[in-house]
Amino acid sequence: MKFISWNIDSINAAVEHKSARGEMTWQVLQDIAAQQPDVLAIQETKLKATGLTKKQAAALDELFPGYHRYLRMSTGRSGYSGTMMLSRQEPINVEMPEIGAPGEMDIEGRVITLEFANTYVSTVYTPNSGSALARLDDRQSWDDAYRAYMQQLDAHKPVIFSGDFNVAHQEIDLKNPKSNHKKAGFTDEEREHFSRLLDAGFTDTFRYLHPDQAGVYTWWAQISKTSKINNSGWRIDYYLTSNRLNDQLDEMSVIDTGARQDHAPIMLTMTDDFTL
């Protein structure tokens, strides 16, 4: 069984693909469709509160025929944040939870959870701590609330959850840890809260399967023209699973996006005996 997760940075940019970067984004989406994942999670859709346009819906229908599609848009700031999940199998329940996060974080469309017979599959777009760490205190409150929500799910059945967590956990997870220490995504506070999430009963699937592998990243800054060329990246996108699923983990990898910077999709495969 195959799961893919990706921060797309705008559904509309991919569907319209009117720029060079838009063309690359559209190609990555086509490559994902060719993989025929059982569940696809998308973050940062940047959709308006009204959801997909007819053109966007038609494009996704063509790429992912027969999939069940679930959207969550920001109801605060329009065209901001947002998540989407597509599943080949219809879930028995769909939750768009409010986790008790501070400020407007709960209405920014950041979490979707699909419930299946044996498993929850969830996606998250974790808030960025922001320029000058202006949102770091709220981010820590988010991390605490999100961890409690995941533990609540895990108490009922195992969880597979993915997304842009906006944190590189360890020094091995980014190219330049010393120069980025105390910057958003690599503060001591964010890293500690991610450790607490793992300690609550969850596994970082990539690091579990590849404990010492360096140089594998999921995000390269667009502001630097050479970040991808030099592989000056960060691993901030994750598939996390309940610890009791460890024996059913097969592989976790990053999908190649060529010259495209920003986020790359990640793919988790489970062993043949795994069922939703």
CATH code of the domain covering residue 172: 3.60.10.10
**Number of structural domains in the chain:** 1
In a domain, 188, yes or no: yes
Which of the residues are catalytic? 125, 164, 263
| DSSP, residue by residue, 165-199 | -----SGGGBS-HHHHTTSTTS-HHHHHHHHHHHH
User: Annotation-wise, does 44 bind a ligand?
Assistant: yes
DSSP 8-state symbol, 133: G
In a domain, 275, yes or no: no
In a domain, 276, yes or no: no
Least confident of 81-90, 144-153, 184-193, 223-232: 223-232
User: Annotation-wise, does 263 bind a ligand?
Assistant: yes
Which tens digits make up the pLDDT trace of 208-261?
999 999 999 999 999 888 999 999 999 999 999 999 999 999 999 999 999 999
User: Annotation-wise, does 7 bind a ligand?
Assistant: yes
Please count the CA atoms within 13 angstroms of the CA of 170 that sit on its side-chain side. 12
In a domain, 154, yes or no: yes
In a domain, 223, yes or no: yes
- Whether 131 has a pLDDT exceeding 90, the answer reads no
DSSP 8-state symbol, 77: S
* Domain range for 153: 2-270
- Tell me the Cα Rg of the chain: 17
